[in-house]
Amino acid sequence: MIGSMKRFCYRCGALEAEHGPLIGGLCQRCFAEENRLLQAPAELEVTICGRCGAHLIGKRWHEAGEGDATANAVRAIVLSSLKVARLTDAGMKFLRPHEVPELELRVEPKLAKGVIEVWANGKVHELQVKPQLEEARIKFTLKRSTCDVCGLRSARHYEAILQVRGKLTREECSEIRKMLEQLAAEAGKRDRSAFIANVEERREGLDLYVNPVSLARQMVSMLKSGFGAEIKESAKLVGQTRDGRRKFRFSILARLPSERG
Residue 164 in 3-state DSSP? Answer: strand
11 binds Zn ion (CB under 5 A): yes
Which residue lies nearer to Zn ion by CB, 85 or 152? 152
User: Which of 30, 37, 164, 219: binder of Zn ion (CB under 5 A)?
Assistant: 30
Q: ω into residue 97 within 30 of 0, thus cis? A: no
Shortest approach of Zn ion to residue 8 CB, angstroms? 8
- Contact by Cβ (8 Å): 28, 20: yes
Biggest CA–CA distance in the chain, Å, is 102
Shortest approach of Zn ion to residue 32 CB, angstroms? 10
84 binds Zn ion (CB under 5 A): no
User: Which of 12, 92, 115, 133: binder of Zn ion (CB under 5 A)?
Assistant: 12
Candidate segments 11-19, 72-80, 130-138, 185-193, binder of Zn ion by CB under 5 A: 11-19
The set of residues, in sequence order, having a beta carbon less than 8 Å from that of 93 and lying 6+ positions away, is 85, 86, 87
Distance CA 253, CA 249 (A): 13
What is the footprint of Zn ion within residues 174-193 (CB under 5 A)? none
150 binds Zn ion (CB under 5 A): yes
Distance CA 145, CA 4 (A): 67
Shortest approach of Zn ion to residue 30 CB, angstroms? 3
Distance CA 91, CA 54 (A): 38
C-alpha Rg value of the chain to the nearest Å: 29
Residue 15 in 3-state DSSP? Answer: strand
152 binds Zn ion (CB under 5 A): no
51 binds Zn ion (CB under 5 A): yes
Which residue lies nearer to Zn ion by CB, 78 or 150? 150
Shortest approach of Zn ion to residue 205 CB, angstroms? 31
Q: Which residues bind Zn ion (CB under 5 A)?
A: 9, 11-12, 14, 27, 30, 49, 51-52, 54, 147, 150
